[in-house]
Amino acid sequence: MMEIFSHLIDGFGIAFQPFNLGMMVLGCLLGLFIGAMPGLGSVNGVAILLPITFFVPPTAAIIFLAAIYYGSMYGGAISSIMLGIPGASTAVATTFDGRPMALQGKADFALVAAAVASFVGGTISIILFTLFAPPLADFALRFGPQETFALMVLAFATFVGLGGDDIPKTIFMILLGLVLSTVGLDTISGRPRLIFFDLQGFYKGISFIVLAIGIYGIGEMLWTLETSRGKVEIISHRFTWQRLKAALGEVKTAWKTMSFSSLLGYFVGVLPAAGATPAALMAYGLTKSFSDTPEKFGKGEISGVAAPEAANNAASTGSMLPMMTLGIPGSPTTAILLGGMVIWGLTPGPLLFLQQSEFVWGLTASLYAANFVTLILNLALIPLFVWVLRMPFMILAPLIFVLCFVGSYAPDTRMFDPWLVLLFGFVGYVMRKLDYPLAPLVLAIVLGPLAEDSFRQTMIADLGDWTVFFTRPLSGIIMAFAVLLFAAPLLKGVRRRKAAADKT
């Protein structure tokens, strides 16, 4: 234990060298804006800025890139809340409650909640990272396809087992999402599936970011325009110290949510197959199902913003662990960081901690510092964001439409995606009118491929024996939780009916 602290103190010495510190602040700031720009996420940011790092020492380079990664995790929430377009894939779940909060004139509260939750998630996960990196890496190795599938079932269970929403409609949306997630070339067989009208574009599959931008950006915007006839004033007041204090007071009530989501997010991030997006969605689902007032979720509940934001930051730290200890990325962004490490002449893998301790501990210490820096930058910039939202809606709405198209075109640079956004926008609008929950659809298209691959890998590996999901110790435990969650609404319903019967 003492050894870790002395390493960490050395690490701070490295992280606080003026050059490294400067790289970190610059990275955080760039990351914030990259994250906030729809269509540009940490993956693109890190990939675009990677070449810059060839001219600085590896430690400064990783500090810079990790700061971008971190900053964009914070930044993703900004456009999710303000514009209703997920700024990054990891911030999809933040739109669920962040957007309604903004429409209620509480955008500043949501932004504070996102910043503070991100800070909590980042800090808890980096402490875990410092103390338990090697044993956690070993634990992650015990996750085979069977365990991954069990975890996916648990995630779906959290969304079905929610009070508030209509269960048949929720299940319908999950199934629709699962069908959409199978479009394109199948990983297992490599064969094309569901290539509608023989359109080339479907070979690539339907990216969930396109779906999310369509239904949340376009669909919700149409809905808002219709219901308000354009007389939306998102926010009328300025962001003052009083508002900040009031917001912090409200965020404090969500401390349980934030700590739980941080732990969950970190753990999911550590797993080789997952990443920050599934982590945020799972945290949202679990928070909702454990809440006393699940019906408030999706309508502007502050815990609904805090949960995914704590989880996605925790997961981004978590996914650095398999990157550094195993040499395998837990997320697309860490995959690029990994490539960077190779270019700088480091070999990520089990020996990195022994051979490159300056690099590892310099990075660790800089993550502690990056968390503080992004929190302060975020809070300081809220007045600016609030000012943007005070623009007349007639100006803001077309801007949001433009950002939706830019954001969907940017990741893959093909016109097919903006057309899909338009299509999903109209479909999303209709579904919204018919009162179908949209979050389960997004969840299913994100987790569908993971669930399908891990299920089929298990079936192939265990020759079609499905009982392994229950007999393997780890997956068995996760499955048991999932079954309980599925059953929860039934039990709740029975109890409620009984209570009603007792009264009469």
Partner 1 sequence: MTFSRRSAFGVGTAGALALVATAVTPAAAEWKPVKPVEFVVMAGQGGGADKLARFIQSIIEKNKFADVPFIPINKGGGSGADALRYLKDNAGNDHVIMATLNSYYTTPLRNPGIGVNINEFTPIARLAEDTFVLWVNANSDIKTVEDYIKVVKEKGTGWKMGGTGTGQEDSLVTAMLEKAYGLKMTYVPFKGGGDVAVNLVGQHVDSTVNNPSEAIGFFEAGKVRPLASLTREPITELKDVPTFKSLGQDLVYRMQRSVVAPGGIKPEVADYYKSIFEKVFASTEWKDYCKKNALQCAWLSGDDLKKYFDEEEAKHAALLKEMGEIK
Residues lying near partner 1 in the complex (CB under 8 A): 43, 47, 50-51, 54-55, 141-145, 184-185, 187-190, 192, 198, 200, 203-205, 272-273, 322, 326-329, 332, 334-336, 338-340, 342-343, 345, 347-351, 412-414, 453, 457, 460-461, 463
Nearer to partner 1, 187 or 228 (CB): 187
Q: What is residue 185's three-state secondary structure? A: strand
Q: What is residue 193's three-state secondary structure? A: strand
Q: Tell which phi-psi region holds residue 184, choosing left (phi > 0), alpha (psi between -120 and 50) or beta.
A: left
Nearer to partner 1, 75 or 348 (CB): 348
Shortest separation between residue 40's beta carbon and partner 1, angstroms:
13
The Cα–Cα gap between 304 and 291 comes to 10
Nearer to partner 1, 394 or 461 (CB): 461
Nearer to partner 1, 50 or 485 (CB): 50
Nearer to partner 1, 168 or 190 (CB): 190
Shortest separation between residue 378's beta carbon and partner 1, angstroms:
26
Shortest separation between residue 449's beta carbon and partner 1, angstroms:
9
Shortest separation between residue 453's beta carbon and partner 1, angstroms:
7
Nearer to partner 1, 261 or 331 (CB): 331
Is residue 410 within 8 Å of residue 64, measured between CB atoms?
no
Nearer to partner 1, 104 or 457 (CB): 457
Task: Give the side-chain half-sphere CA count within 13 A for 49.
Answer: 26
Contacts 24+ apart (CB under 8 A), 5-13: 7/357, 7/361, 8/130, 8/361, 8/364, 8/365, 10/358, 10/361, 11/360, 11/361, 11/362, 11/363, 11/364, 11/365, 11/366, 12/365, 12/368, 12/369
The Cα–Cα gap between 312 and 266 comes to 8
Shortest separation between residue 188's beta carbon and partner 1, angstroms:
5
Nearer to partner 1, 74 or 143 (CB): 143
The Cα–Cα gap between 78 and 459 comes to 41
Tokens linked to 91: 């911030």
Shortest separation between residue 274's beta carbon and partner 1, angstroms:
12
Shortest separation between residue 62's beta carbon and partner 1, angstroms:
15
Which amino acid type is present at position 334? T
End-to-end Cα distance, the chain: 62
Shortest separation between residue 439's beta carbon and partner 1, angstroms:
26
Is residue 77 within 8 Å of residue 114, measured between CB atoms?
yes
Is residue 291 within 8 Å of residue 297, measured between CB atoms?
yes
Shortest separation between residue 50's beta carbon and partner 1, angstroms:
6
The Cα–Cα gap between 412 and 144 comes to 31
Nearer to partner 1, 460 or 491 (CB): 460
Is residue 131 within 8 Å of residue 266, measured between CB atoms?
no
- Phi, psi of 125, deg, nearest 5: -70, -35
